[in-house]
Amino acid sequence: MASHESLGFGGLLVLLLHMALSISPASGIGVNWGTQSTHPLPPSTIVRMLKDIGFQKVKLFDADATTLKALGKSGIQVMVGIPNDLLPTLANSVQAAQDWVAQNVSSHVSSNAVDIRYVAVGNEPFLGAYNGSYIGLTLPALENVQSALIKAGLAGQVKVTVPLNADVYQSSTNLPSDGDFRVYENVFDANHDTLVWALQKNGYGNLSIIVGEIGWPTDGDKNANPKYAQQFNQGFMSRVIAGKGTPMRSGPVDAYLFSLIDEDAKSIQPGNFERHWGLFYFDGQPKYPLRLGTTSSNGLVPATDVRYMAKKWCVMSPSANLDDPQVGPSVSYACSHADCTSLGFSIMIQSLPAAQGTASSLRLNVLVLRREYSAFQILNLQSGSQVLCQIGTG
């Protein structure tokens, strides 16, 4: 997911809605799988989770060989991604595109039996925040990748697409049809049909639409919490299960939930919420019940065989004083090496006393660096402690 402008969560759906245009229809529910984590679960564990939950499709942001190998013979349809920084190379060299397809698509389809269905060219390359940097590169890159797929004999199976952020279309009146009124009950329908209308006006009314990212974070903002995330995602999934379309397009919606698992190494430039989009915590445990309608269990299934690190972390020394001038720099140092987004404007730790919040930042730090600090004690604490006692996976 590309960086988003910090719009606040009154406009969350607009902020999240990421579309991809495709020339072939598809259906079923998928999920985004991001890997920017300091303690990633093994890809084989993630793939087992995907199958246990019943996800039929997964959207990747790159074409990592280890990830794709784990998806081999899984029966899961895969969308691989081309990062924006590769667009100049692929746009200016047919050979580079052929090499990329050979290494990241052909080899996995033939050798690992990975069911690759899409190549996403760029990650929201037309986002307004990029100031047009990729506008002249995206189409040539797409054409070269498409040409490479044809040469590789894969064009019948693998389609190219360009992920678009919702800021790519506009309406002078803020109405989806710019004057042709329809009844809209939610912002998703209005967003979706604004794109449909824009496509129709430009002569592409029959182009298929994939909702590439849709979801709600659980921390890092006053409106980001598990309750709201469950309500939003269950509401969306209920309409998907029912096969309900939008006022301008009937039939099932093709979508990828954002996202599968938390990523504690993502940039927080858009906001602290960027690390908390997951349906699952970083250790593969579900955050809330969610009915997907994909399996007999009908819900999220936790990861199995997760190996945890020893239950040790830094806490404030009982003799320490919050007014001690060493406390502030110590916390700042700890948070520069760990994910302290829950200590900010959020719901997870803000209710704890100051000393416990400080202890939490130090606990997070020792999980990442796995080292001790002489200024603080290392204690064994019970999992029932008031401080959140999730321990990093090893």
Specify the DSSP element, H or E, that contains 255: strand 255-257
The active-site residue out of 124, 143, 185, 372 is 124
DSSP 85: G
Contacts of residue 79, defined as CB under 8 A and 6 or more positions apart, other chains included, come to 30, 57, 58, 59, 60, 116, 117, 118, 119, 120, 161, 256
Residue 335 to residue 362: CA distance in whole angstroms: 8
Nearest to 233 by CA among 280, 296, 273: 280
Residue 124 appears among annotated catalytic residues:
yes
3-state secondary structure of 2: coil
Contacts of residue 281, defined as CB under 8 A and 6 or more positions apart, other chains included, come to 261, 262, 287, 390
Residue 336: count other Cβ atoms within 10 Å of its Cβ. Answer: 9
The active-site residue out of 213, 263, 274, 372 is 213
**C-alpha distances out from residue 237 to 27, 231, 278, 385, Å:** 13, 10, 15, 35
Residue 274 appears among annotated catalytic residues:
no
| Under 8 Å between Cβ of 82 and 122 | yes
Residue 159 to residue 332: CA distance in whole angstroms: 46
Enzyme catalytic residues: 124, 213
